[in-house]
Amino acid sequence: MSSDNKKKAPAGERVADWADGRLGIYSLAKANMRKIFPDHWSFMLGEICMYSFIIIILTGVYLTLFFHPSMNEVEYHGSYVPMQGQLMSEAFNSTMHISFDVRGGLLIRQIHHWAALIFIAGMFVHMMRVFFTGAFRKPREVNWLFGFLLFVLGMFTGFTGYSLPDDLLSGTGVRFMQGAILSVPVVGTYLSMFLFGGEFPGGDFVARFYSIHILLLPGIMLGLMVAHLILVFYHKHTQFAGPGKSNKNVVGMPLLPVYMAKAGGFFFLVFGVIAAIAAIASINPIWALGPYRPDQVSTGAQPDWYMGFAEGLIRVMPGWEINLWGHTLVLGVFIPLVIFPLMLAAIAVYPFIESWVTGDKREHHILDRPRNAPTRTAFGVAWVTAYMIMLLGGGNDIFATHFHLSLNAITWFVRIFFFVGPVIAFIITKRICLGLQRRDRDKVLHGRESGIIKRLPHGEFIEIHEPLDQGQLHTLTAHEQYKPLEIGPTVDENGVERKVSGSQKLRAKLSKGYYGEDNQIPKPTAEEYKEITSGHGHH
Amino acid sequence: MSSQEIPEENLPSKQETEPQHGSVVVPDDNPFADPGLPPHKHRIQDIDEKAARRSERAVAFLFTLSMLATVGFIAAFVTIPADKSIFVWPIGHISGLNFALGLTLGLALFCIGAGAVHWARTLMSDVEVADERHAIEAPAEVKAKVMADFRAGAEESQFGRRKLIRNTMFGALALVPLSGVVLLRDLGPLPEDKLRHTKWAKGKKLVNMNTHEPLRPSDVQVGSLTFAMPEGMSEHDHDFQTQIAKAALMIVRIQPEDIKDKRELEWSHEGVVAYSKICTHVGCPISLYEQQTHHVLCPCHQSTFDLSDGARVIFGPAGHALPQLRIGVNEEGYLEALGDFEEPVGPAFFERG
Amino acid sequence: MKKLSARRRHPLAAVVVLLLALAATGGLYAAFAPADKAQADETAQSLAIDEGKKLYAVGCSSCHGTGGQGSSDGPPLTGVGAAAVDFQVGTGRMPLQQQGAQAPKKKVIYTQAQIDQLAAYIASLGAGPSVPTEKQYSPKGADIAKGGELFRTNCAQCHNFTGEGGALTHGKFAPSLEGVSPKHIYEAMQTGPQNMPSFPDTTMPEKEKKEIIAYLDAVNGEKTQSPGGLKLGGLGPVSEGLFGWIFGLGSLIAVAVWVAARTAKAKKS
C-alpha cells in the first residue's frame, strides 16, 4: 500500500497500516474485532479471576519496591508504638514500614491480599460454574485442565506470599508445612533441609519463597492464563440453550463495541470494589500478630481460606504413627498430605471419566442446566460438600468459641461427615435434580401454574395453567438425553461366551447409573405434547 | 477401551436444522422446534432521544465523578499524614489516609467501569448477533496433508533409519538435566543427626523466658506455667530462632501423687516437670495448659497431651508423646537439665525410629 | 393482598420467599439466642448481709464447704487468697449458676464492698495472693513492646494475638480480654482461675504483668486503632475468608449480574 495517495489517510490509520505491515494486525482484527460473546453473569466469573490476577500483579510489583526478602534480625524503630525495639526479621520490618510509613502502602498491601483471596474464591466459583454446566466437555477438556492448574498454582502462590512477612501467624503456617514435609517417607528430612537451607526456620526461606512467589509461580500462571484465554477465543464461548441458540452458533454481542466496553468496564469495577474493600476492612494486620518466633504461637492459627480444607484434613486426622525397623511412618501427617492432591485431582479428572462413560465424541457448545445432568451435579455437590466440611474442620476452634460448641465434638463431626456428608449430598442432589426435571416436564406439557384459581360452572376449582410460548418450550426441551450403554447378552445364540472386560462392565454400570431408568426423567416428546394440547383437557 | 464401541443410537439425536437469525421461523410440525432468535425489542433509549440524552449525561457524570475522585486521591495523599487516626462509625479508629485513599481510588475506578457499562447497556446497539461455529477438528484432507508432510520430514531427517544418532541424542537429552539437579545439592546441608540434638545438655540451667533468670524449684508453683530455654542462649544469637525451635521448654508443677507415669516422676524434681514446648505433630509451640486437668492443647491442630501421664496423646493428630527433659537441682539450688532430650523433639520424621 | 397471591407462582417468588425465610431465621436466632442472664441478682440483692462469713455461708458454702474445705462440686478455697475471690466474684464468674465446662463471666451480683468482705474471709482461711493495689497493676509507663513479647510467649496461645479469646478442649475456652479491667487481668495472672495456669511473681514479676496489661490496653483497648479498617473480630484468616467470600466475591458477582443483565425494554405504548 503506497502511502502517497492523493489524500493522506488519517494518522490513526497510518499507524495501523504501519503495524499491519509488520504484525499483520488487520487479519487478526478481521477474525476477532466483531467476535461474539454471549451475555450471562456466570460467564463473567472468569473475568473476575483474570482482573483480580492483574490487580495482584500491579500491586505486587509496587510492594516489591519496598519489601526486603531477608531474614536478618533487626530492631524495630518505625512508627508503630507497641512494637518499638522488638527484634524481627527484615522481611517483617519492611512490611511494617510499608504498612505504617509508606503513604498508601497499607492500601496497596490490603488490595494485594484481598484481591488474592477473591482471585482464588473466584477461580473456585468459576470452576464450579464450568463443572455444573458441563462446559468442560469436548472441545474444552484441555482448557479445563489449564484452569484447574491455575487454581492449584494460585493456592501455592497465595501460600508463599502469605508467608513472606514472616509474622507469627504465617510463620506458624510455614512450620506446619515443614512438619508436613518431614513426614514424607525416605526423603522428607532431606527435602526439608534443602528447602529451608538447613534446620527450621534457618535464614533462607523468605528469600526462597520470595522468588517462588513473585517470579516462578506467577510466571507459569501468566502463561497458563494467556493460553486459557486464547483457547476461550478459539473455541468461542459456550451458551445456554434458548431460542435461536444452537450448538452451531454463538449468540451475543460483538467484541467491539459492546463487549469491549462491558469487559473493559468490568475490570475497573472489580478494581474499584476491591480498592473500596481495602479501604474499609483490614486484612492480615501483621502489627497485631507480631514477628515470628518458633517458640511463640497464637490460638486461631489458620492459613488463608484456600488452604483451609488442607488444614481441616490435617486437624481431624487421627494420630497414626508406625515404627518399623528403626524408621517412622508418620501416617497422621502423611495421609492428609496425600489426600490433599487426590481430592483436588478427583474434580480435575471428572470430565475424562464422564466422556468415557458417555462415549460421546461430539463437540458440545450448549451448556447443560445442572438438573439435566443429575449424576454429574450430584457428584459435584458431593465434592463441594467434602471440601466445605474440611474447611469447617480447618476452622474448628473458631467455630467452637463462636457457636459455644466443643472443639472435640466438631472434630468428631468432621471426621464422620467427611465420609457420610458427600453420600447424603449426592443422594439429595440427585433427587432434587430429578424433581426439577419432572417439574420441567410438567411445565412443558401443562403450562406454567399461574396461581389463579378458577371456579368452573359445576363448582369445581381449577388452577389456570398458562401455556408456554414456543421459545420456552424449546428451551426446556433442548437438552440431550443419552441412553444407557448395554453390554448385551454375554452368551450368543450358539452358547459361546463373549468376552466382556471388567472395564466394560464397569462402564455399562456407570452408564446405567447416569442414564438408566430412574436416573433421568424422559423429556416430553412432541407426540405427548400434541396429544395433551389437542385434547384441551384440564389436566 | 475406546469409545467407538458406543452404538450410534445411544447418542442423542442431532438438533433440528439451524434457525435463521432474527426471523421467527414458522413452527413446523415439531412444537419444540427452535423458533429462532426473538425479534429485537427497542430500549427506551433507542426510540426516545430524551432518554438517550439522559443516559449520555449519566455516563458523562460517572466519568466526571471519576476525575474528581482522582483529584481527591491526590489531595488525600498530599494532605493527610500517614499516622492520622480517624473514627468512622461503625468501622472504628482507622487510618485516615488508608480510608481516604482507598475510597477515592475505589470510586475513581468504579465510576470508569460503571460509566463504560452504562454506556454499553443503554446506548450501544443491543441487537443480538449470531456467529457461526466451525468444527475444531481439521477436515480429513487437511489431516492427510499434515500426515504426509510429517512423514516426508521424518523421512528426510533419516531419524528412523539412523538408530545410532537417535539413541545417542535421547541419551544426551536425558542426561543434560542432571547438571541442574546436581546444582540443587547446595540448597541445604544433609540431615545427619541435626534433628536429634538440642541446646540442652547436662548441667545447663533452666532459664525463665520472661525474666532471663535461672529458675529455682520454689519459683514454680502448682498450677503455674513457665517457659524456659537453656542457659547461655540469647535472643541476639544469630541462630537463636533455629535453636529455640528445638529447645523451647514448658515447665509445670504437678503434685507428685497426681503423676501417673513412673518415668515422668523419676525425671521430675519434686513434681516440677519439664516437657518440650514443640508439638510432636508438626511442630507448633504447644502450650495451652489447662491446670486443673493437666491437659495441654496445641492451638494449631488440637493435639491434646496429658502432662500428668507422660504427656501421652489423648486427642488429635499427634502420633507420640511430648519428649520430657530430665531435670534436677544443682548445688546452688537452681533447676538444671540432666542431659539432652532422649528422643528428637518436634514432628516425627522417617529416620526418627 | 390479592396482587400478592396472584404472584405467588411468579418465577422469582421462590427467591423472595428464600430471602424472607433467611431474614426470619436470622431474626429469630438473634431474639432467642441464649443470653447469659443472671437470674440470681434479685435474690442476692435481698441478702443484706454485710459480713463475709455470712455471705459465704449463703452464697458459696453449698459447693465449697462450710469452712472453705471444698466438696465434689467446688475446689477448696483455703490459700487461694483474696485476689482469687476478687477476680471470681468481681467478674461474676462466682457464684456459679450451673455446673458446666467452665464458669462464664456474667453480671456481678455482689457490691464491691461485699466482695471485699468475702475476700477478707477467704484470706483468713489461709495465706494467698492479696488483692493488688492500683500501683501494682496500673500500666502507666510500662514498656508496651516488651509486654507484647511477653503476651505472645505466655498468653497468646490461648487468648489469641490481641486477646480475642480461643477454644480449649471439650467446650472450655479462654475468654476474650476485651474490656477486662487491669485489676482483674492482674488477678487472673496471679491466681490462675479455673483452668488457666497461674503466672506467679516468682516467674513473672509485677513489672512484667504491668507490661502485659499495657500491651493489652494498646492493642485491645477502647482507643485501639485498626489502621486497615474493620478488625473482623481480630480472628485472622477465618473471618477474613468469610468476608472475602461474602462481601468481596459477593459484591463482584452482584456487579457482574448488573453488567450482564438485559437493559429494560421500552414498553409498548
Claim to verify: residue A79 and residue A196 sit in the same structural domain: yes
Claim to verify: residue A219 and residue A294 sit in the same structural domain: yes
Q: Could you tell me if B342 and B276 are in contact, meaning their C-beta atoms sit under 8 angstroms apart?
A: no
Domain that holds residue C55: 39-129
Residue of C nearest to B299 (CA): C157
Report yes or no on A51 lying in a domain: yes
**8 Å CB contact of A397 and C158:** no
A406 Cα to chain C: minimum distance (Å): 4
Claim to verify: residue A204 and residue A177 sit in the same structural domain: yes
d(CA A282, CA A284): 7
Predicted pLDDT of residue C29: 65
Q: Could you tell me if A428 and A510 are in contact, meaning their C-beta atoms sit under 8 angstroms apart?
A: no
Instruction: Please count the structural domains in chain C.
Output: 2
Claim to verify: residue C136 and residue C219 sit in the same structural domain: yes
Residue B20 has pLDDT above 80, yes or no: no
Q: Between β-strands C173-174 and C166-167, what pairing exists: parallel, antiparallel or unpaired?
A: antiparallel
Mean pLDDT of C16-27: 77
Give the start-end residues of each E strand in C68-192: 166-167, 173-174
Mutation site for B-interface testing, chosen from C73, C80, C169, C215 by largest number of B Cβ within 10 Å: C169
d(CA A216, CA A150): 13
Angstrom CA distances, A98 to A46, A88, A213, C36, C200, stand at 31, 15, 18, 43, 39
d(CA A348, CA A379): 12
Among the partner residues C161, C231, C260, nearest to A290 by beta-carbon distance: C161
- CATH code for the domain of C137: 1.10.760.10
DSSP H helical segments within A33-104, as ranges?
45-64, 90-100
pLDDT tens digits along C139-156: 888 999 999 999 999 999
Domain final residue pick, C70, C97, C129: C129
Per CB-CB distance under 8 Å, the chain C contacts of A265 are 259
Residue B13 has pLDDT above 60, yes or no: no
Give me the architecture of the B196-337 domain, per CATH: 3-layer Sandwich (2.102)
Claim to verify: residue A81 and residue A22 sit in the same structural domain: no
Report yes or no on C256 lying in a domain: no
Claim to verify: residue A27 and residue A129 sit in the same structural domain: no
Angstrom CA distances, A1 to A10, A17, A31, A464, B269, stand at 15, 8, 21, 69, 97
B225 touches chain C (CB under 8 A): yes
Helices vs. strands in chain B: H and E counts, helices first = 8, 14
Counting as low any pLDDT under 50, the low residues of chain A are 1-3, 537-539
Mutation site for A-interface testing, chosen from C232, C238, C253, C258 by largest number of A Cβ within 10 Å: C238
Claim to verify: residue A45 and residue A96 sit in the same structural domain: yes
Report yes or no on A229 lying in a domain: yes
Claim to verify: residue A24 and residue A42 sit in the same structural domain: no
Residue of C nearest to B124 (CA): C263
Among the partner residues A39, A81, A121, nearest to C244 by beta-carbon distance: A121
The alpha carbon of A382 is separated from its chain's Cα centroid by a whole number of angstroms, namely 15
Give the amino acid at B128.
E
Residue of B nearest to A505 (CA): B1
Report yes or no on C6 lying in a domain: no
Claim to verify: residue A95 and residue A241 sit in the same structural domain: yes
Claim to verify: residue A162 and residue A147 sit in the same structural domain: yes
Nearest by Cα to A289 from B248, B244, C164, B239: C164
Angstrom CA distances, A228 to A49, A216, A353, stand at 12, 18, 22
Among the partner residues B1, B299, B350, nearest to A299 by beta-carbon distance: B299
Mutation site for B-interface testing, chosen from A59, A89, A181, A182 by largest number of B Cβ within 10 Å: A182
Claim to verify: residue C46 and residue C124 sit in the same structural domain: yes
Tally the residues of chain B.
353
Q: What is the pTM of this model?
A: 0.91
Which single residue is written with the C-alpha cell 488474592? Answer: A116
A4 Cα to chain B: minimum distance (Å): 36
**8 Å CB contact of C238 and A302:** yes
What are the backbone angles phi and psi of residue B242, rounded to the nearest 5°? -65, -35
Nearest by Cα to C92 from C106, C78, C103: C106
Q: Which helix (H) or strand (E) holds A329?
A: strand A327-329
d(CA B174, CA C204): 63
Q: Could you tell me if A165 and A284 are in contact, meaning their C-beta atoms sit under 8 angstroms apart?
A: yes
B184 touches chain A (CB under 8 A): yes
Q: Could you tell me if C10 and A450 are in contact, meaning their C-beta atoms sit under 8 angstroms apart?
A: no
Claim to verify: residue C114 and residue C137 sit in the same structural domain: no
**8 Å CB contact of C157 and B299:** yes
Which single residue is written with the C-alpha cell 420441567? Answer: A440
List, in order, residues 6 or more apart from B331 with CB less than 8 Å away: none
Angstrom CA distances, B263 to B256, B273, B345, C36, stand at 12, 11, 18, 45
| Domain ranges (residues) in chain B | 44-122, 196-337
The alpha carbon of C79 is separated from its chain's Cα centroid by a whole number of angstroms, namely 27
Claim to verify: residue A134 and residue A211 sit in the same structural domain: yes
Which single residue is written with the C-alpha cell 384441551? Answer: A536
Predicted pLDDT of residue B22: 43
pLDDT confidence tier of residue B25, bands split at 50, 70 and 90: very low
pLDDT tens digits along C166-184: 999 888 899 999 989 999 9
Instruction: Please count the structural domains in chain A.
Output: 2
B43 touches chain C (CB under 8 A): yes
What spatial distance separates the first Cα and last Cα of chain A, rounded to whole Å? 72
pLDDT confidence tier of residue C224, bands split at 50, 70 and 90: confident
Per CB-CB distance under 8 Å, the chain C contacts of A409 are 171
Predicted pLDDT of residue B353: 78
Interface confidence, given as ipTM, is 0.91
Predicted pLDDT of residue A284: 94
Report yes or no on C259 lying in a domain: no
Predicted pLDDT of residue A536: 54
Claim to verify: residue C149 and residue C117 sit in the same structural domain: no
Report yes or no on C11 lying in a domain: no
Claim to verify: residue A50 and residue A104 sit in the same structural domain: yes
Among the partner residues C229, C230, C238, nearest to A398 by beta-carbon distance: C238
**8 Å CB contact of B19 and A79:** no
d(CA C108, CA C92): 4
Report yes or no on A344 lying in a domain: no
Domain that holds residue A276: 37-300
pLDDT tens digits along B325-348: 999 999 999 999 999 999 999 999
Neighbours of A412 (CB within 10 A): 13
User: Computed from CA positions of residues A235, A237, A240, A241, in that sequence, does the dihedral angle turn out positive or negative?
Assistant: negative
Report yes or no on C205 lying in a domain: yes
User: Computed from CA positions of residues B313, B352, B276, B253, in that sequence, does the dihedral angle turn out positive or negative?
Assistant: positive
Number of A to B CB contacts under 8 A, please give it: 394
Chain B, window 137-176: residues with a beta carbon less than 8 angstroms from a chain A beta carbon: none
Residue B28 has pLDDT above 80, yes or no: no
Chain B, window 60-79: residues with a beta carbon less than 8 angstroms from a chain A beta carbon: 77
Claim to verify: residue A1 and residue A116 sit in the same structural domain: no
B292 touches chain C (CB under 8 A): yes
pLDDT tens digits along A129-159: 999 999 999 999 999 999 999 999 999 999 9
Claim to verify: residue C119 and residue C141 sit in the same structural domain: no
